[in-house]
Structure 1
Amino acid sequence: MPKPSRKDSILTAALACITDVGADATTIEMIRERSGASIGSLYHHFGNKDRILASLYIEGLRRYAERLDAQLAAATGASECIGALVSSYIDWVVENPDWARFILHSRGRVEAGEMGEQLKTTNREHYARLQTRLQSYRDQGCFRDLPLDCFASIIVGPAHDMARNWLAGRLSKHLTDYREVLAESAWIAVRALPDQSPQ
């Protein structure tokens, strides 16, 4: 396995500090000490604390999107694609709980910061890839006639809510125990009704 870059080491240290004391209480000095980087290196790679936090947020989204893209590419039908949207999210949260917790609570902060436009661009590109992947199934009539603006929320919204509860310790079972039922429910919610299905 290749050695993490200095930039990755700084992001890893930032996430550890945020997990320990919260984003507001985390300081550049804490990140420097934990990462072993010099102050000059931190400012060279990121510029300031807000840019470190925004970069951490965007990198987390990138890694999640990378996992999702791979699972969608492997799916062989509409129902598998919908299932991949749910399962890839749940799997990423379970494998990266601290990162997921940070992302769930920091969107507004990042959007309002100097890298807000970069985040919006990242999200637009992600949703464009998703729509392209699903378009052929939409053209085949596999999905109900739903507004595009709410399509993804209908699919991933319940998993998103369950992830929040799991991360907060409010579920009686592990998040992965709900993986199949959430994927099945998402498919039921968006699949074409019997009289609308392609013949």
Structure 2
Amino acid sequence: MTPKQQRGEATVDRLLDAALRVYAESGEQGLTVSAVTKASGVSLGSLYHHFGSIDGLVLTLAHRWLGRLLGELVTALQAAPTTREAIDAVVRTYLAFIREHPDAARLVHSPMADRHSMESGQEQRDAQEARVSAFALWVQPRIDSGELAPLPLPLIESLVLGPVVAVARRRLSGIHDVDLDEAARILPERIWLSVGGEPT
């Protein structure tokens, strides 16, 4: 990597880090070009050069953190010794991410990210193809062996992640009527009842 490329990457990181700080302090309404350039010390021209717009910057930031979350989930999935323990690991990893990175998690689960997902869901999925494929590669042999129910992959994904995402959204919206430790204890068994199969 050339020195110019290194400087470019450092500038990108400064802008993304500053955008997350601004979002944490001021929410979606506070994510303006002027707020991010002021917080980062990076020029307006550099922001537009690297991201095209404030929306481009925010979407890149959301994709970066979504990629990190998916990467942690795939790692947890693949490290678990059994299929049943893998479901437990995915739930615990997801909830740990919410606890450890609340600002980034709030952005990933925000209405702004939802709007983009509805508008370009396939594009987002394609951007995370390696991690999505890793999940599919883990699931299919376990369907074939009977360890997971013979359901379409998107339904298994929804049954595993849907309840966890719902808890995460409640927590991140400021509703604290669900304890994350309690959710980590209860959800894996309930999810397993919906996706577990009969090993052959």
CA contact (8 A) 1:86 1:179 kept: yes
Superposed counterparts of 1:19-168, under 5 Å: 19-105=24-110, 106-111=112-117, 118-168=123-173
Paired letter, 2:136? Q
SS of equivalent residue, structure 1 residue 55: helix
Structure 1 position 179 matched with structure 2 position 184: yes
SS of equivalent residue, structure 1 residue 71: helix
Judging by fraction of residues, say which structure has more helix: 2
For structure 1, which runs of at least 5 residues remain unmatched after alignment?
A: none
Residue correspondences, number = 191
Q: Which has the higher contact order (CA 8 A, sep 6+)?
A: 1
User: Structure 1 pair 7/116, CA: closer, same or farther in 2 (3 Å)?
Assistant: farther
CA contact (8 A) 1:9 1:35 kept: yes
Paired letter, 2:172? L
CA contact (8 A) 2:167 2:178 kept: no
Give the superposed CA RMSD.
Answer: 2.2
- Deviation, structure 1 residue 183: 1.6
SS of equivalent residue, structure 1 residue 171: coil
Hey, what's the Cα distance between the residues in 2 that align with 1:127 and 1:66? 9
CA contact (8 A) 1:91 1:176 kept: no
User: Residue by residue, what CA displacement relative to the aligned partner does 1:103-144 show, whole Å, maximum 9, x if unpaired?
Assistant: 11223433477x876423124443222010122211111112
User: Structure 1 pair 112/68, CA: closer, same or farther in 2 (3 Å)?
Assistant: closer
Q: Percent identity?
A: 30
CA contact (8 A) 1:93 1:100 kept: yes
Q: TM-score when scaled to structure 1?
A: 0.85
SS of equivalent residue, structure 2 residue 174: coil
User: Structure 1 pair 51/79, CA: closer, same or farther in 2 (3 Å)?
Assistant: same
Hey, what's the Cα distance between the residues in 2 that align with 1:111 and 1:167? 18
Hey, what's the Cα distance between the residues in 1 that align with 2:175 and 2:58? 27
Hey, what's the Cα distance between the residues in 2 that align with 1:5 and 1:186? 42
For structure 2, which runs of at least 5 residues remain unmatched after alignment?
A: 1-8
